[in-house]
Structure formats: C-alpha cells, structure tokens
C-alpha cells in the first residue's frame, strides 16, 4: 500500500531532500508540500506528515496533525522533553490515534554517538557537549545536543554532572545540568562532540555529518514506521532498536 506523505517545510534544505526521497520510493506518494505561506489544512488527508520547518512553526503543525489524527514525524529542532510532555497531554485530550515521532537527528551515526555517550556517562563525572553547525541554523543549542544531554542525565540518574563555574556565560548553556557549547560557522554542516573527563583521562565521542545523505535512511524509516507506531516516540533509536541506557540499566 502506498503511504501519502505531506511535507511541511518542502522548500527548505530538509524538505527538498524529503521530496526527492518520496519521489524515488515506490511505496511513498507526495500528498502535499507546504512552505511558510501554506494553510495547515493542506496537511489533511495525508497518511503521515513530515515536519521539517522552524522551531516557532513546528508546534502548530504537530498540534494540527494530532487534532486530525494524522501520524507526524517531527524533524524540526527545538523540542525539549518538557515540550514533548505537552504534546503527550494534547494527544490524550483528543484521544488522538496518530503517533507523534520526534526525531532530533535522522542520522544513524548521530544516534549511535548519543547512545555511546549515554553509556559512557555513568563512568565520568565531568561531561560537556560541543556542537557546531552551519551559520544558517537559527536555533541553539541544537536539538541533537538537547536530546543528548537529556539522555546522559537520564543515564546518570541521581548522579549530577560536575560543571564548575557554570554560571559564567562562556561555560555554555546548561541542559539537564550539562554545559552545551554551540558554534555557528560558515563552511560547516553539523558536528557534535561529547567530552567526558575522569581521573587522568578524557574520552571524546564525536560525530560529523558530511552531507545530507546521512539523513536519508532515517527519514525513510520514520515515514514508513510512523503510520503503524503508537503514542509518542522519541528518537530514531526507538525505531532502530537501539537501547539508550537509562539509570536502571545493568
Ligand atoms: N532531525 C534532523 O535530523 C534534522 C533536523 N533539521 C531541522 O529541520 C528544520 C529545518 O531545517 P532546514 O531544512 O535546514 O531549514 P530551511 O531554513 O532550509 O527550511 C525551512 C523550511 O520551513 C519553512 N518555514 C519556515 N518558517 C515557517 C513557518 N512559520 N511556518 C511554516 N513553514 C515555515 C520554510 O518555508 P519558506 O521557504 O516559505 O520560508 C522552509 O520550507 C530545522 O529545525 C533544523 O534544525 C535539520 C537537519 C537534520
Ligand atoms: O539545523 C541543522 O542543520 C540540524 N539540526 C538538527 C539539530 O538541531 O540537532 C539535526 C542536525 O544536527 C542538523
């Protein structure tokens, strides 16, 4: 059966990539491509919505899809755990059938980097994240860095990260108690380093996105799985069967 996809943000970098993937896939059809001037009702009738827009627009798109009972894959950044909790409540209010799949990063390597960082996090008290993106990125810290910090904090449970002098601006923004440093530079695509420090050693887990091709597998997987998914799903890891180590993990 063919899955009809509505792409919100179709004129953007990610949206154009998604349009090409939908066109090339035998099991996907384009229902609609939306930009900043489109009416949200253009989404209606789709089997799945892909939201790759702007942090300020994403919430309205997600709420519209939920209210219409359409599954939605959210690639737009800016979704912290708190904001996701708000969408969970909204879904319950509507008793909405469509899943909401938040994917902070569609790249498999990035997701693995986050999982490895969370695994290592229990063994190091000093942890900081440095993320670097192209100069056109409007939000900081990146959605990937926020998710990574949240997953690390979850893995550490009651053990706080030690971040001295974190009140000084140059020490970065604290996300879930972890300093995050954001670089925005011409010439870059997307990179993240998680630096963990212990007694007499550091461990760095680094991921670089070399080209948008890194997102293709994840976008296709999310679009194909979202129509049958249930509830609110966070992270490509959930679709790939990659377990993020929580505090209770062995
Ligand atoms: N999850 C992941 O793996 C990845 C996520 N991202 C995230 O995806 C999002 C999009 O990135 P990117 O494609 O680079 O961004 P672009 O700036 O290239 O494109 C943004 C798109 O969103 C649309 N848009 C902007 N404002 C609104 C609005 N108020 N209402 C509806 N649509 C709007 C634009 O339409 P118009 O042309 O009319 O302005 C355009 O189609 C960002 O949040 C980015 O961080 C990016 C890469 C990977
Ligand atoms: O804006 C981008 O480019 C990216 N945004 C996402 C984020 O905020 O983490 C994913 C990836 O890093 C690229």
User: What's the pLDDT band for 191 if we cut at 50, 70, 90?
Assistant: very high
User: What's the pLDDT band for 37 if we cut at 50, 70, 90?
Assistant: very high
Q: What is the mean pLDDT of residues 21-25?
A: 98
Q: Is 137 a catalytic residue?
A: yes
Closest atom of ligand 1 relative to the 9 alpha carbon: 41
Would you say 134 is a known binding-site residue?
A: yes
Would you say 77 is a known binding-site residue?
A: yes
Q: What is the mean pLDDT of residues 210-236?
A: 97
Ligand 2 proximity of 58 Cβ (cutoff 6 Å)? no
How many Cβ atoms from other residues are within 10 Å of residue 104's Cβ? Answer: 26
Does the pLDDT at position 92 exceed 80? yes
pLDDT single digits (tens) 96-155: 889 999 999 999 999 999 999 999 999 999 999 999 999 999 999 999 999 999 999 999
Using an 8 Å Cβ cutoff, are 99 and 233 in contact? yes
- State how far the Cα of 62 lies from the Cα of 84, in Å rounded to an integer: 11
Using an 8 Å Cβ cutoff, are 215 and 14 in contact? yes
Ligand 2 proximity of 98 Cβ (cutoff 6 Å)? no
- State how far the Cα of 247 lies from the Cα of 238, in Å rounded to an integer: 17
- State how far the Cα of 131 lies from the Cα of 184, in Å rounded to an integer: 9
pLDDT at 247: 67
| Rounded distance from Cα 131 to ligand 2 centre (Å) | 10
User: What's the pLDDT band for 246 if we cut at 50, 70, 90?
Assistant: confident
pLDDT at 1: 86
Q: Which of 34, 35, 45 is nearest to 4 (CA)?
A: 45
Closest atom of ligand 1 relative to the 10 alpha carbon: 41
Would you say 197 is a known binding-site residue?
A: no
Does the pLDDT at position 249 exceed 80? no
Closest atom of ligand 2 relative to the 147 alpha carbon: 9
How many Cβ atoms from other residues are within 10 Å of residue 162's Cβ? Answer: 12
* Residue 40 per-residue DSSP state: G
Percent of the chain with pLDDT over 70: 98
Mutate to test the pocket of ligand 2, among 142, 146, 219 (most ligand atoms within 8 A of CB): 142
Would you say 209 is a known binding-site residue?
A: no
List 31, 64, 133, 207, catalytic entry: 133
pLDDT single digits (tens) 205-214: 999 999 999 9
Q: What is the mean pLDDT of residues 41-58?
A: 98
Using an 8 Å Cβ cutoff, are 22 and 222 in contact? no
Nearest CA residue ID for atom 15, ligand 1: 12
Mean pLDDT of the chain: 96
Does the pLDDT at position 250 exceed 70? no
Helices (H), 69-186: 81-94, 108-121, 143-156
Q: Which residues' Cβ are closer than 6 Å to ligand 1?
A: 9-15, 35-37, 52-57, 75-77, 103-106, 215
- State how far the Cα of 23 lies from the Cα of 234, in Å rounded to an integer: 26
């Amino acid at each position: 059966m063919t899955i009809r996809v509505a792409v919100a943000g179709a004129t953007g970098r990610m949206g154009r990539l998604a349009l090409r993937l939908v066109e090339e896939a035998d099991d996907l059809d384009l229902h609609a491509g939306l930009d900043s001037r489109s009416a949200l009702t253009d989404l209606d009738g789709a089997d799945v919505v892909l939201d790759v827009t702007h942090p300020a627009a994403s919430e309205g798109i997600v709420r519209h899809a939920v209210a219409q009972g359409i599954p939605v894959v959210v690639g737009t950044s800016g979704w912290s755990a708190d904001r996701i909790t708000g969408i969970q409540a909204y879904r319950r209010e509507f008793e909405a059938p469509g899943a909401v799949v938040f994917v902070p990063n569609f790249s498999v390597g990035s997701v693995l980097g986050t999982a490895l960082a969370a695994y290592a996090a229990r063994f190091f008290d000093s942890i900081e994240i440095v993320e670097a993106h192209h100069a056109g990125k409007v939000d900081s810290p990146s959605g990937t860095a926020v998710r990574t910090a949240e997953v690390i904090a979850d893995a550490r449970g009651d053990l706080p990260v030690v971040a001295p002098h974190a009140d000084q601006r140059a020490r970065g923004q604290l996300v879930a108690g972890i300093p995050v440093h954001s670089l925005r530079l011409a010439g870059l695509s997307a990179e993240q380093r998680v630096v963990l420090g212990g007694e007499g050693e550091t461990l760095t887990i680094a991921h670089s996105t070399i080209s948008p091709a890194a997102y293709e597998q994840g976008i296709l997987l999310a679009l194909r799985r979202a129509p049958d998914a249930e509830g609110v799903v966070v992270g490509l890891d959930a679709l790939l069967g990659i377990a993020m180590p929580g505090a209770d993990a062995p």
